[in-house]
Amino acid sequence: MSPNRRYFLKQTGYATLAAPSGAFSDQKLFAQTSNKGTQPAPENSAPMNDRRIGYCIVGLGRISMGEFMPGVRLSKQSRIVALVSGHRPKAERMATDYGVSPKAIYDYDNYDTIRHNPEIDAVYIALPNGMHAEYTIRAAHAGKHVLCEKPMANSIKECEQMIAACKQANRKLMIAYRCQYEPTNLKAIELLRNGYIGEIIALESSNGFNIHPGEWRLNKKLAGGGPLMDTGIYSLQATRYLTGEEPKEVQAYSSVIDHDGRFNEVEETVVWSMRFPSGVLANCATTYGSSFIGSKVRVIGSKGELKLDPAFGYQELHLSGQAQGKSPLDIAFDNPAPRQFTTEADYFSGCILENKEPKTNGDEGLRDERIMTAIYQSCGSGKPIRLSA
Ligand code: NAD
């Protein structure tokens, strides 16, 4: 067997999110030593049930129309039953395309009347970040479960209000951290927990893109911040789920190099370091100023290294690794877009149907918000910020 061979692992529903059991057995990947992380690799099984959860899509933009709705179309557990948009002709086109009744098209003013539509079990919030809290809280008051896009909100206070509103209404709240349901990232977690690279020593991660002027992402009120809130959050998430630890200290710097008007309200670039309780160190970078940063993670271990490159895209993610005494790894799952969104929607539908708490619940979104707040504090003060456990 070629040590450099690439594994193409076919995803056919939930059961194949982990590699087929025999796929790596000849490579002795799973050493007995466990890593420093205490959190077990998360389960990704979504319960199957005959009933489909009805979603109301809130905000018809790129992520909802380009990925989430096509993802739900492939689902056996979820369906689209209502739309919320400020643009009626666009909503009518999408309603025709997805078989949604024109009576189930709402706007931002009459949004609260979704409470009277029993077909709607849950809302999917795909609005600018600064609107997540309001539309989550209004959905909870209307008695609907909430799947909210990342970042959860613009502030710790908003996150706490969202959690409280959903708790009070006895509705579930999940943050759409799709990478925590994605097979390549899950495989990396599994390999790390099983000690493939020995003890984790350090991680590096980067994510970003070159932003066009005029985007709401450059408006502080709508975005909450710059690339940290939008793309850096993927690197932050990865350091947490790959180590299974929570950082105890951050030190960060931000800068604006392109004085072309795009970055009058938010930062262009943030780099930050984190210390974890076990001693693991992480270095991350995120920018809106370059298309060449890529979405990458490198995990350095005492006996090897793992790389995810690309790590966070919608498809064609790639995991590679090498470790002492083990064959090199080269793994790419056959999981074309928009399947990550099918998996994510169906996972949340399963949680609703089986009354299970989502693994990326509001508390998980709040944890990131606290760390990002500390990162911004460190950018402002130039000092490291300690995080409470
Ligand atoms: P977008 O600009 O394409 O869509 C935003 C939608 O909100 C549009 O339909 C727009 O009309 C509507 N809207 C309502 N009020 C608005 C206002 N005041 N200003 C601007 N738009 C307004 O944005 P997007 O890229 O789809 O991002 C939406 C959310 O999804 C963000 O929170 C973003 O972080 C998140 N997102 C997640 C992923 C992922 O992979 N999970 C990817 C991209 C975006």
Write out pLDDT tens, residues 226-274: 999 999 999 999 999 999 999 999 999 999 999 999 999 999 999 999 9
Give the pLDDT of residue 50.
75
Does the pLDDT at position 18 exceed 50?
no
149 lines ligand 1 (CB under 6 A): yes
Residues taking part in catalysis? 150, 234
pTM recorded for the entire structure: 0.90
Does the pLDDT at position 320 exceed 50?
yes
Question: Cα separation of 294 and 99, whole Å?
Answer: 37
Average pLDDT in the 136-157 region? Answer: 99
**DSSP letter string over 127-143?**
S-GGGHHHHHHHHHHTT
325: which 2 tokens?
């005494």
pLDDT in tens, 352-369: 999 999 999 999 999 999
62 lines ligand 1 (CB under 6 A): yes
Q: Give the least confident one: 2-6, 94-98, 237-241, 337-341.
A: 2-6
Sheet containing strand 385-386, strands side by side: 7-10, 329-334, 319-323, 304-308, 296-301, 200-208, 281-287, 269-275, 249-255, 385-386
Residues 6+ positions from 359 with CB-CB distance below 8 Å = 42, 43, 180
Give the pLDDT of residue 22.
24
Question: Cα separation of 146 and 55, whole Å?
Answer: 9
285 lines ligand 1 (CB under 6 A): no
Average pLDDT in the 65-82 region? Answer: 98
Does the pLDDT at position 30 exceed 70?
no
Ligand 1 pocket test: pick from 62, 64, 69, 129 the residue with the most ligand atoms within 8 Å of its Cβ. 62
Give the pLDDT of residue 213.
98
Average pLDDT in the 160-176 region? Answer: 99
Decide if 372 contacts 229 (C-beta within 8 A).
yes
* Residue type present at position 314: Y
Question: Cα separation of 197 and 299, whole Å?
Answer: 9
Give the pLDDT of residue 43.
41
- Look over the chain and give the mean of its residue pLDDT values, rounded to a whole number: 89
Ligand 1 pocket test: pick from 127, 209, 314 the residue with the most ligand atoms within 8 Å of its Cβ. 127
| Ligand 1 centroid, distance to 65 Cα (angstroms) | 10
Give the pLDDT of residue 389.
74
Give the pLDDT of residue 118.
98
Average pLDDT in the 9-26 region? Answer: 27
Determine what percent of the chain is predicted with pLDDT higher than 70. 87
310 lines ligand 1 (CB under 6 A): no
Give the pLDDT of residue 123.
99
Question: Cα separation of 175 and 183, whole Å?
Answer: 18
Does the pLDDT at position 12 exceed 90?
no
Give the pLDDT of residue 24.
24
298: which 2 tokens?
């490198």
Average pLDDT in the 306-321 region? Answer: 98
